[in-house]
Amino acid sequence: QQQVRQSPQSLTVWEGGTTVLTCSYEDSTFNYFPWYQQFPGEGPALLISILSVSDKKEDGRFTTFFNKREKKLSLHIIDSQPGDSATYFCAASGGEGADRLTFGKGTQLIIQP
Amino acid sequence: DPKIIQKPKYLVAVTGSEKILICEQYLGHNAMYWYRQSAKKPLEFMFSYSYQKLMDNQTASSRFQPQSSKKNHLDLQITALKPDDSATYFCASSQGWGGPYEQYFGPGTRLTVL
């Protein structure tokens, strides 16, 4: 049973457009949700994170939204750039395994010039 | 300068052999972790350490043994290697343990077992 689900699996967006990635989770004890960006051959880089007490967090062109009732979160990238082309992972942790990040399978994003 | 160093970048091993993956962090963090990423599964938590003490272990096999000689070092020894162990192994660190703390990942060691 996959505890963190991501969609879509892959996505192509035109340069300058808005990218929306979504994630859902099962475990109601999860209370921390980071998003990571990974380029080929590199490790995941922390992009933005949100705690379950918040419903929105913004950092530059990146905004994450959290809906506790629906157990869903999303990552919005405005003015998407070719340099944003990467794989994006959402993750979750909380409860007994407070430091154990559970990852989704990732979304491969391509920004077309 | 890289803040989390993993050595080697690539590693090829034969079935049944033993290898050690090295990780050092220079972020001044007190907690360190190992994760594994393979073609078949998403990034998967393996171990967490805080102040050189094992805090959480989600690896069923005793063939995987973390080793912490210093607070900023967490190596991973893998014995009796199998082809299924082929994956990229990532070390991560965070300021503290008992969360949530932001976790920062190293560049990874890509292991191939023939």
The reported pLDDT for the residue numbered A1 is: 59
C-alpha span between B114 and B111 (Å, rounded) = 10
| Alpha-carbon distance B17 to nearest alpha carbon in chain A (angstroms) | 25
As a whole number of angstroms, the distance between CA A91 and CA A50 comes to 11
Q: Which residues in chain B have their CB less than 8 angstroms from residue A27's CB? A: none
**3-state secondary structure (DSSP) of residue B109:** strand
Chain A residue nearest residue B97, CA to CA? A99
CB contact under 8 A, B103 and A102: no
Contacts of B44 in chain A (CB under 8 A): 103
Under 8 Å CB pairs connecting chains A and B tally to 67
The whole-chain average pLDDT of chain A stands at 95
- pLDDT, residue B41, reads 85
> In chain B, pLDDT over 70 holds for what percent of residues?
99
Q: In the predicted model, what is the mean pLDDT of residues A43-65?
A: 97
| Residue B29: both structure tokens together | 């963090």
